[in-house]
Amino acid sequence: MRRIRNDEVIPTRYRGGDVVWVKLNALELWWPGRVATAEDNCYITTKSTPFAVVVFFSEETFEFVSSAKMIYPFHCPRKLDFIELAKNKFQRKPTKQKIIGITNF
């Protein structure tokens, strides 16, 4: 499986509320979410400031994005690739978790 990284020369800056794709830690999987705002209360003291904090839809979880290489705007040219990767990964392995609406994106 080929790795996908965001190699833009000038990284996009994201604002709270922006919808994005974020690479999940330790997986070659990209998932949609929303850039956190101060009201999300998911900021904790860390040794280094994350590039962004992304809150996942319909979940109480979030991801600290360490660099611009791990995040894309939602309506990017790779959007369909990310959807296909997620569908293929979860169709191959039986899972007890229900995937909530990836095809709705």
Q: What is the pLDDT of residues 53-90, one digit of tens each?
A: 899 988 888 888 888 889 999 999 999 999 998 888 87
Who contacts 36 (Cβ-Cβ below 8 Å, separation ≥6)? 16, 42, 43, 52, 53, 54, 55, 62
Rg (CA), the chain: 14
Residue 4: inside a domain: no
In a domain, 26, yes or no: yes
CATH code, domain with 39: 2.30.30.140
Is the residue at 45 inside a domain?
Answer: yes
Task: Return the pLDDT at 43.
Answer: 59
- Which of the 8 DSSP states describes residue 30? E
- Residue 32's domain comprises 19-104
Task: Give yes or no for residue 104 having a pLDDT over 50.
Answer: yes
Does residue 2 register a pLDDT over 90? Answer: no
* Mean pLDDT over the full length of the chain: 79
* pLDDT value for 1: 47
- Which tokens sit at 15? 């604002």
